[in-house]
Amino acid sequence: MSLRRRLNGSRRSPLAATIVIAAGLLFSGGGFAVATSVVESNVATAYTADQIAEGKKLFLSNCASCHGLNSEGTKAGPSLIGVGAASVDFQVGSGRMPGQGSGPQLPKKTVQFTEEQIGLMAAYVASLAPGPAIPDDKYLEATGDAAHGGELFRINCAMCHNAVGAGGALTEGKYAPVLKGVSAKHTYEAMITGPQNMPVFNDSNLTPTDKQDIITYLAYMDENESAGGYALASLGPVAEGLFVWIFGLGGIIGITVWLAAKSN
């Protein structure tokens, strides 16, 4: 009896229920806070006043001619108020900005600034108004679910970027770029900011985990060879058809000529 009572006692301390409820509240509340801060594109990324001031200097000397002295935008470039640090990191970090000349689409080119300078400009633009922040490293590792990422990619991305990210043409000289070799950070930033004519895929459309799965899928496609043999740049029927026209039909013609030729 005494053993049983002790057992009972050890099982249910009068404080147990309170502790469990408190822990539950803490976890769910904390988890919710974490989740919402991600969904709301964590506005409060800490930048110091010095960083912002340095960033503004860089902005005034390199960007203001098109985007306006107060980032309000001009005829040559859109307003940067509210585009967030992620936009700056993507556009400048991939070399698309500062743009050289106008055209249907600004191409990727050699990066013009150092990591540090890009960070300072991002700090300045982020200080103007809340916007998408540079993504958390934990969503950039290719450790997600590649199969799920592949399904999401085919539904949301493949129509423009090709089923394996080989890129494709859009209207009037615009195009969806090749995704092979694009860093996970830039892929993530492109999804949350929608650069140039790409639409935005916010966190309620594709959650950060979904985005990580897509990054995982792209990394998988980068690392693994095509199962079907040489992929001819994954361009599909045009490249494959040309190959068959030249080498397939060429081979058949060669054999026909040999069949009909007389032996020496």
Partner 1 sequence: MAGKDLERSKEAEGFEHEFESGLAVISQDKIGDPGLAPHRVRMTDKSPKHAKNAERQVAVLFLLSVVGSFFALWAYVAFPITEDLSTVRANNLWLGLGMTLSLLGIGIGAVHWAKTLMPDFEVSEARHQTRGSEDVRAAAVEIVKLADQESGFSRRKLIRRTMYGALALFPLPALVVFGDLGPVVGDSLRHTMWKKGTRLTKDPTGIPIKASDVTLGSVFHVIPEGLAEMHEHKLEEKAKAAVLLVRLNQEDLKEDESKKGWSYDGIVAYSKICTHVGCPVALYEQHTHHLLCPCHQSTFDVTEHCKVVFGPASRPLPQLPISVDAEGYLIAQSDFLEPVGPSFWER
Tokens of 169: 């043409």
Q: Which is nearer to partner 1, 119 or 132 (CB)?
A: 132
Q: Which of 59, 188, 201, 217 binds partner 1 (CB under 8 A)?
A: 201
Q: List, as one string, the DSSP characters of 18-58.
A: HHHHHHHHHHHHHHHHHHHHHHTT-S-----HHHHHHHHHH
> How far is 191 from 166, CA to CA, in rounded Å?
17
Tokens of 184: 């996970």
Q: Which is nearer to partner 1, 139 or 201 (CB)?
A: 201
- Among 88, 106, 66, smallest CA distance to 196 is for 106
Strand partners, 176: 168
Q: Please, which of residues 32-61 interact with partner 1 by CB under 8 A?
A: none
Instruction: Note whether 198 binds partner 1 by CB under 8 A.
Output: yes
Instruction: Note whether 209 binds partner 1 by CB under 8 A.
Output: no
Strand partners, 169: 175
164 secondary structure, DSSP code: T
Q: Which of 8, 110, 114, 171 binds partner 1 (CB under 8 A)?
A: 171
Q: Which of 168, 180, 209, 232 binds partner 1 (CB under 8 A)?
A: 168
Q: Which stretch binds partner 1 (CB under 8 A): 177-185, 211-219, 225-233, 242-250?
A: 225-233
Instruction: Note whether 170 binds partner 1 by CB under 8 A.
Output: yes
Instruction: Note whether 75 binds partner 1 by CB under 8 A.
Output: no
Q: Which of 202, 209, 232, 235 binds partner 1 (CB under 8 A)?
A: 202
Q: Which is nearer to partner 1, 174 or 180 (CB)?
A: 174
Tokens of 74: 């001009």
> How far is 68 from 49, CA to CA, in rounded Å?
21
Q: Please, which of residues 108-127 interact with partner 1 by CB under 8 A?
A: none
CB of 100 to partner 1, least distance (A): 20
Q: Which is nearer to partner 1, 199 or 241 (CB)?
A: 199
Whether 161 contacts 167, CB under 8 Å: yes
> How far is 139 from 39, CA to CA, in rounded Å?
13
Q: Which stretch binds partner 1 (CB under 8 A): 63-71, 115-123, 136-144, 191-199?
A: 191-199
Tokens of 65: 């001619």
- Among 126, 98, 100, smallest CA distance to 112 is for 98
Q: Which is nearer to partner 1, 119 or 131 (CB)?
A: 131
Provide the CA 63 distance to its chain's centre, in angstroms: 24
Radius of gyration of the chain (CA): 27
Q: Which stretch binds partner 1 (CB under 8 A): 16-24, 86-94, 115-123, 198-206?
A: 198-206
CB of 176 to partner 1, least distance (A): 8
> How far is 199 from 190, CA to CA, in rounded Å?
9
CB of 6 to partner 1, least distance (A): 49
Residues that bind partner 1 (CB under 8 A): 151-152, 155-156, 159-160, 168, 170-171, 174, 176, 194, 196-202, 204-205, 224-229, 258-259, 262-264
